[in-house]
Amino acid sequence: MIIAPVFYILAHIFFPINTSNAIVPKPVLNAPDNEIRYVYLSFDDGPLEGTSNCIDICLNQKVPATFFEVGRHQASTNRSKALYNRIMQNEAQFMIANHSYTHANSKYKYFYRHPTMAFDDFMQAQNSLAIKNNIIRLPGNSAWNTTAIKKASGLVKPVVHKLDSAGFNIIGWDVEWGFDKSGKPRQAPQFVVDMVDSAFARNHTATKNHLVILMHDHMFRASADSAKLVAMIGLLKSNPKYQLRKISQYPGLKNGGR
Ligand SMILES: [Zn+2]
């Protein structure tokens, strides 16, 4: 009569009965949703009007960003050299990558049909911008070339091949925040983040769970438009699954992006 309750109590201590409140690991129903998604902010064509706001906003928001710079823009004025130096001075948070010297003079077909000339243009930018990495973005073209991704149209393939042989990575973009004829952001911040969410959900990115956003510095030269950049970054930061990074942390870069 006594043994049974003692055994019952001991059994409960060492082998607790599963009641509805017991701690049982819940089955993970949506495993991919727990994965971190990496977002890379990139600003093209600077230093230009608007670059200063992009720098200030990313510093204030404490978010990393990559500036794909145009050699000729940097060399043009003391002000643009100062902007370039401000990016360089915040190397922990920012990086500068090669976006050509002339930006193809905006004559893309001519530029890419002369691959030796185009290659030399990138090398001129590499030298004049004193770039320390091997990451390039083609002007006016979202080609990709890393150890893992090979995406290039017939037009740009010859210069991509030359840059590849010289050890460079080519980075395109997954989502573009476009601008209208007056250079202002075309979409609202929420719309841009909806595009990001959708690209991740549909796996419409060059690398699964990694997404590069293309923006242009000049879009954010007015304070009302700068506020849109702040809002867009705020929306990205509010998603606990999203982590922001510099392009140097993109997976599969040749020689680790150096
Ligand atoms: Zn560009």
What is the tens place of the pLDDT at every residue in 126-147? 999 999 999 999 999 999 999 9
Domains of the chain: 38-251 (3.20.20.370)
Residue 57: C-alpha distances to residues 78, 163, 188, 234 (Å) = 22, 33, 17, 11
Residue of 21 and 168 predicted with greater confidence = 168
**Distance in Å, CA 197 to ligand 1 centroid:** 24
pLDDT at 10: 46
Residue 130: C-alpha distances to residues 75, 95, 125, 231 (Å) = 12, 12, 8, 33
pLDDT at 18: 44
Q: Tell whether the model's pLDDT for residue 21 goes beyond 90.
A: no
**Distance in Å, CA 188 to ligand 1 centroid:** 21
Q: What is the mean pLDDT of the chain?
A: 91
Q: Tell whether the model's pLDDT for residue 210 goes beyond 70.
A: yes
For the segment 112-124, the average pLDDT, to the nearest whole number, is: 98
Among candidate residues 188, 206, 211, 194, the one with its CA nearest the CA of residue 42? 211
pLDDT band at 32 (very low <50, low <70, confident <90, very high): low
For the segment 85-95, the average pLDDT, to the nearest whole number, is: 97
**Distance in Å, CA 140 to ligand 1 centroid:** 6
**Distance in Å, CA 45 to ligand 1 centroid:** 5
**Distance in Å, CA 137 to ligand 1 centroid:** 8
pLDDT at 256: 86
For the segment 7-18, the average pLDDT, to the nearest whole number, is: 45
pLDDT at 258: 87
For residue 15 the two structure tokens come to 């082998």
**Distance in Å, CA 92 to ligand 1 centroid:** 24
| One-letter identity of residue 129 | L
For the segment 200-216, the average pLDDT, to the nearest whole number, is: 98
**Distance in Å, CA 10 to ligand 1 centroid:** 73
CB-based contacts of 141, cutoff 8 Å, min separation 6 = 108, 112, 153, 155, 156, 172
**Distance in Å, CA 9 to ligand 1 centroid:** 74
For residue 235 the two structure tokens come to 């929306």
% of the chain with per-residue pLDDT over 70: 87
**Distance in Å, CA 240 to ligand 1 centroid:** 31
**Distance in Å, CA 68 to ligand 1 centroid:** 8
Question: CA 192, CA 111: separation in Å to the nearest integer?
Answer: 31
For the segment 143-157, the average pLDDT, to the nearest whole number, is: 98
